Amino acid sequence: MGEVAGVSAIEKTNHKKLTTMKLLKRGTMILLGAVLVAIGLEIFLVPNQVIDGGIVGISIMLSHLSGWSLGLFLFVLNLPFFFLGYKQIGKTFAISTLFGVAVMSLGTAYLHPVPPLTKDPLLAAVFGGIILGIGVGLVIRYGGSLDGTEILAILFNKKIPFSVGQTVMFFNLFILGSAGFVFGWDRAMYSLIAYFIAFKVIDITIEGFEETKSVWIISEKSKDLGDAILNRLGRGVTYMRGEGAYTGEDKQVIFCVITRLEEAKMKAIVEDIDPQAFLAIGNIHEVRGESFKKRDIH
């Protein structure tokens, strides 16, 4: 009984250490992401009158028109969305968001006196968009947010016949269009470039450079295909039982996970063994587990 209690205590201690490490990692990555956003804004975008979408874009324009600190607007305008996020999504998300927004706001205030690295608006839009996208992507990947627009879109989604993505896009087009009246239409066009680059880089940061794909194959030669995928591609497969809705026949389904670079070889294997096989390939945002590791090819 004493040994069991001792083991239980050790397990609890290890769990606490693991939880602490996860929280520390989350906090560190959100800190890094928020700092990168502050750098992208104050060292590249803001000095060149190029804006981003969402609350950040509104804050940049208000700061320009009023002469007040950008960090002040970033924090105050995002504050209501912190409470909405707490109610709609949860405590962890809300705290992560508050921490990220606070770091971003303080970072812009601290970096404001630093001279920009370039006065070329195109270079500012490109490199500012890249840095901004990496920063926002890191914060989102580790459970936070730096902009309340998405939370607002989730609330509106319940009352209007548009998706969250469409609502966010509408908000941002309106905000980026408004930049034309504040900074001039050439700056609004540079802002669109920065927004598009940041949007794509956010996806890459969240999903990673190595795009993973799921593969589903239905074939009469499933065993031959499974062996070929294992031996020629080095990927494990899972066999599943299925039933054709039209014919009622039993089918054996092969499931496999590959990388984007292995897609062409997978198609070649299926074409060689069973050209009549049903093959479906789709994108996967994240894969975890030891079973995804590539095996040695014989």
Among the listed residues 241, 240, 271, the one whose alpha carbon sits nearest the alpha carbon of residue 256: 240
Q: Is the separation of the CB atoms in 152 and 84 below 8 Å?
A: yes
Residues of the chain with CATH 3.30.70.120: 212-292
The residues, any chain, with a CB within 8 Å of residue 227's CB and separated by 6 or more, are none
For range 189-205, the mean pLDDT: 89
Identify which has the larger pLDDT, 10 or 250: 250
CA distance 88 to 70: 27
Joined tokens for residue 269? 């294997």
Which fold does the domain 212-292 belong to in CATH? Alpha-Beta Plaits (3.30.70)
For range 77-93, the mean pLDDT: 79
Statement: residue 71 has pLDDT above 60: yes
Statement: residue 285 has pLDDT above 90: no
CA distance 253 to 216: 7
Q: pLDDT per residue over 117-172, tens digit each?
A: 999 999 999 999 999 999 988 988 888 888 877 667 666 666 766 655 567 777 88
The residues, any chain, with a CB within 8 Å of residue 99's CB and separated by 6 or more, are 27, 30, 31, 34, 144
Q: pLDDT per residue over 219-257, tens digit each?
A: 888 899 999 999 888 888 988 887 777 777 788 899 998
Q: Is the separation of the CB atoms in 184 and 117 below 8 Å?
A: no
Partners of residue 254 on adjacent β-strands: 217, 239
CA distance 141 to 121: 29
**Within 13 A of 94's CA, how many CA atoms are on the CB side?**
13
Statement: residue 294 has pLDDT above 70: no
